[in-house]
Amino acid sequence: MMQLGPGMYSQRTGPCDECDGKGESIDQSKKCKTCSGKKLQKEKKKMKVEVDKGAPNGEKYTIHGEGDEIPDAEPGDVIVQIRQLPHKTFHRKGADLFIEKEIPLLEALTGVDFIITHLDGRKIRIKNTPGEIIKPDDIKTVEHMGMPFAKKTYTHGNLFIHFKLKFPTQVDAKTIGLITEALGTNGTTSGNNSRKNSGKSRKGSTEESKHADNLGPVDETVEMKTFHEDHKNTHHGGGTRGNDSEEEDDDDHHGHGGQKIGCQSQ
Residues in Cβ contact with 118 at an 8 Å cutoff, skipping those fewer than 6 apart: 124, 145
| 85 located within any domain | no
Residue 83 domain-assigned? no
Residue at 243 is within a domain:
yes
Report helix, strand or coil for 209: helix
Question: Which pLDDT tens digits describe the chain residue by residue (266 residues)?
Answer: 666 677 777 777 777 767 766 667 776 777 777 777 677 778 888 999 999 999 999 999 999 988 888 877 888 899 999 999 999 999 999 999 999 999 999 999 999 999 999 999 999 999 999 889 999 999 999 999 999 998 887 889 999 999 999 999 998 999 889 888 887 766 555 444 444 544 445 555 555 555 556 777 888 888 888 888 888 887 777 777 655 556 444 444 444 334 444 433 33
Cβ-in-10-Å burial (0-12, 13-18, 19+) of 123 comes to middle
Whether 47 is covered by a domain: the verdict is: no
User: 83, 27, 19: which is closest to 56 by C-alpha?
Assistant: 83
| Whole-prediction pTM | 0.67
Confirm whether 95 is domain-assigned: yes
Asked, for residue 216, whether it belongs to a domain, the answer is yes
Beta bridge partners of 62: 79
How many helices and strands, by DSSP H and E, does the chain display?
5, 14
The structural domain count of the chain equals: 1
Nearest to 254 by CA among 141, 140, 134, 162: 162
Please give the residue range of the domain that contains residue 153: 91-254
Task: Tell whether 172 is covered by a domain.
Answer: yes
* Amino acid code (one letter) for 20: D
Does any domain span residue 73? no
CATH of the domain at 160: 2.60.260.20
